């Protein structure tokens, strides 16, 4: 992850500020930065979204393909994640520098979305045991300014909401062979139910308190952070500890509670925004990459 | 014919976006988005990146790291003595990697690197506060770059685009010189002023407004209508900067 150098005096200032619930940019400990979300930015994908939070920029593209389902769950589809830390994000990602972080992010996403409660994978099944939809979720980090996990999870949720999977019918012919027929209408598609998809909340421990949506300077003052994936109903699908420092059990409990509260509060406005964006339809002004 | 221009079919065209400078027949274009090009006498705020044998390397947002020689700093206590071998070994006690300093440009090396000095009590290591980074071309050249703003905080407008906001020091701190950093708790009221100023500086920088004490103060006053954390929302930013620009125009006219 990108890092900045800060002096001891700056660290003390930041930690005292967090203790008094007034961070350097005026936010409280549980406030997010201003977020901009745009869906349907990449035309040759089945669903896409771009999230900008402060200077962190994340682009997610989703492509659906037909494959054989996994042998142990023949009536479900699945998701494949791939995170690419672009060298544009920060000089540390030059060449193969971003690979380790990319692999770590992908693995976290697999854990977060592993639960049955998050996405109804049965809706992705076309023909049990033979064909199912596989969603390839590609995440591209364009700019890195702290809080990658949160921005990524919001972008994935927005992209899944935006995903349109073409409807297919399975036809049986006389010899028993199966044929897949794609619907003629390009607008006849399957939409995913994103009601229960979790969002990741990263909490960084600064001094004795913890902050949500830490900037790179605040991250430099924190020794450890906790990553909590929360669904809209408040269920926690994944908890991970990041960083080299230690966390005692009481603070882990406190941070998990805060994560649940902040996560739940994040979902409702997000869904509202996505639905409003959808309803604008063709009249929506696309901002895209050059804003 | 000067920097930032080229001949395109007999017509002189600018190759970068910026301000035009004319000296007799020499036309140059100074770009808006650029690294800091230091000049002698500029006040800068920089961060120590390396501690070398008799000098420190300072990051100042220029093409090359600037140099702060051991002989160019005031040793604590204000003594004027020759630098001994012991001083070399205890350099890290004065300034470490990551520390912020305010300094003045003493000279420019032939390769373009700047040589800094902190040979005055007003320069030296910076204590608690907030650093804001903007483009160097947005900082107006003025007589003094150290301002104690009436709203309750102080600011150093470094020519290199590094702006330092800090709580106004009390009377007793001024005799300490450059190396005492107070790690005492900064009161909440001062913090609010500093956070608000920080957001105002970012708002002004985003709208490419020239930064100097008056523009920063006007922006602060017009931001008082809003909560500190709302200042950076795009609509609020537009509002505040528009009011500031209007006041600055009225003041000039």
List Cα–Cα distances, A46 to A60, A183, A190, in angstroms: 11, 15, 11
Q: Kindly determine whether residue A22 and residue B192, on different chains, have CB atoms separated by under 8 Å.
A: yes
The answer to whether the complex's ipTM is over 0.85 is yes
Whole-model pTM: value is 0.87
Q: What is the pLDDT of residues B95-108, one digit of tens each?
A: 889 999 999 999 99
Residues of B with CB under 8 A from a CB of A: 47, 49, 96-100, 126-131, 181, 183, 185-186, 188, 191-192, 194-196, 198-199, 227-229, 231-234
Q: Which is higher by pLDDT, A116 or B92?
A: B92
Assess A23–B contact: CB distance below 8 Å, yes or no. Answer: yes
Residue-wise DSSP of A70-126:
PTT-TT--EEEEEEEE-TTT-GGGTTTTTHHHHHHHHHHHHHHTTSTTTS-GGGGEE
Question: Who contacts B40 (Cβ-Cβ below 8 Å, separation ≥6)?
Answer: B105, B106, B107, B108
Of chain A, the end-to-end C-alpha distance in Å amounts to 25
Minimal C-alpha gap between B253 and chain A (Å): 34
Give the pLDDT confidence score for residue B54 in this predicted structure.
87
Nearest-CB residue to A24 (from B130, B231, B233):
B130
Q: What is the pLDDT along chain A (291 residues), one digit of tens a residue?
A: 556 788 999 999 999 999 999 999 899 888 888 888 888 888 889 899 999 988 889 999 999 998 888 888 888 888 899 998 888 888 778 878 788 888 988 998 888 887 777 788 888 888 888 888 899 999 999 988 888 899 999 999 999 988 888 888 887 777 767 777 777 777 778 888 888 888 899 999 998 899 999 988 999 999 899 999 998 888 888 899 988 888 889 989 999 999 999 988 888 888 888 888 888 766 555 555 544
Question: Who contacts B184 (Cβ-Cβ below 8 Å, separation ≥6)?
Answer: none
Nearest-CB residue to A9 (from B47, B183, B234):
B183
> What is the domain partition of chain A in residue ranges?
8-282
Q: What sign has the CA pseudo-torsion B51, B57, B60, B63?
A: negative
Q: Kindly determine whether residue A24 and residue B97, on different chains, have CB atoms separated by under 8 Å.
A: no
Minimal C-alpha gap between B47 and chain A (Å): 8
CATH (residue range A8-282): 3.30.230.70
Q: What is the pLDDT of residues B176-199, one digit of tens each?
A: 444 567 788 888 899 999 999 999
């Amino acid at each position: 992850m990108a890092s900045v150098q800060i002096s001891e005096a700056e660290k003390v200032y930041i930690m005292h500020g967090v203790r008094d619930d007034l961070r350097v940019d005026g936010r409280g400990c549980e406030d997010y930065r201003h977020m901009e979300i745009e869906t349907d930015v990449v035309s040759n994908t089945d669903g896409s979204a771009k999230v900008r939070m402060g200077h962190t920029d994340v682009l997610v593209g989703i492509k659906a393909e037909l494959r054989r389902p996994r042998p142990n769950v023949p009536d479900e589809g699945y998701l494949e994640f791939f995170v690419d830390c672009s060298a544009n994000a920060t000089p540390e990602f030059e060449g193969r520098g971003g690979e380790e972080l990319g692999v770590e992010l992908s693995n976290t996403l697999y854990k977060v979305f592993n639960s049955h409660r998050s996405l109804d994978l049965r809706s992705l099944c076309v023909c049990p045991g033979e064909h199912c939809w596989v969603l390839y979720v590609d995440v591209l980090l364009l700019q890195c300014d702290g809080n990658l996990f949160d921005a990524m999870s919001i972008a994935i949720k927005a992209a899944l909401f935006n995903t349109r999977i073409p409807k297919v019918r399975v036809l049986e012919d006389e010899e028993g062979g199966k044929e897949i027929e794609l619907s003629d209408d390009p607008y006849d598609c399957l939409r995913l139910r994103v009601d229960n998809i979790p969002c990741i909340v990263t909490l960084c421990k600064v001094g004795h308190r913890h902050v949500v949506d830490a900037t790179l300077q605040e991250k430099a003052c924190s020794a450890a952070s906790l990553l909590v994936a929360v669904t809209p109903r408040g269920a926690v699908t994944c908890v991970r500890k990041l960083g080299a420092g230690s966390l005692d059990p009481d603070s882990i409990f406190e941070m998990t509670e805060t994560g649940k509260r902040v996560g739940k509060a994040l979902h409702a406005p997000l869904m509202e925004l996505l639905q409003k964006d959808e309803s604008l339809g063709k009249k929506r002004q696309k901002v895209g990459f050059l804003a | 014919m000067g920097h930032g221009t080229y001949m395109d079919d007999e017509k002189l065209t600018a190759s970068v976006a910026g301000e035009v400078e004319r000296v007799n027949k020499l036309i140059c274009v100074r770009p808006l988005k650029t690294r800091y090009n230091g000049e002698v006498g500029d006040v800068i705020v920089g961060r120590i990146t390396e501690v070398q044998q008799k000098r420190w390397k300072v990051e100042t947002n220029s093409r090359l790291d600037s140099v702060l020689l051991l002989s160019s700093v005031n040793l604590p206590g204000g003594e004027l003595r020759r630098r001994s071998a012991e001083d070399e070994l205890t350099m890290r006690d004065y300034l470490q990697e990551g520390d912020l300093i305010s300094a003045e440009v003493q000279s420019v090396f032939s390769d373009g690197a700047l040589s800094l000095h902190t040979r005055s009590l007003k320069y030296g290591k910076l204590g608690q506060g907030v650093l804001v980074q903007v483009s160097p071309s947005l900082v107006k050249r003025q007589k003094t770059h150290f301002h104690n703003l009436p709203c309750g905080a102080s600011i150093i407008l470094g020519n290199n685009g590094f702006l330092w906001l800090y709580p106004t020091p009390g009377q007793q701190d001024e005799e300490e010189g450059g190396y005492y950093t107070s790690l005492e708790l900064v009161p909440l009221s001062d913090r609010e002023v500093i956070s608000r100023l920080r957001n105002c500086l970012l708002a002004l920088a985003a709208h490419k407004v020239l930064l100097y004490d008056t523009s920063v103060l006007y922006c602060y006053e017009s931001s008082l209508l809003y909560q500190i954390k709302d200042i950076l929302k795009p609509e609020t930013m537009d509002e505040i900067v528009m009011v500031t620009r209007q006041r600055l125009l009225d003041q000039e006219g």
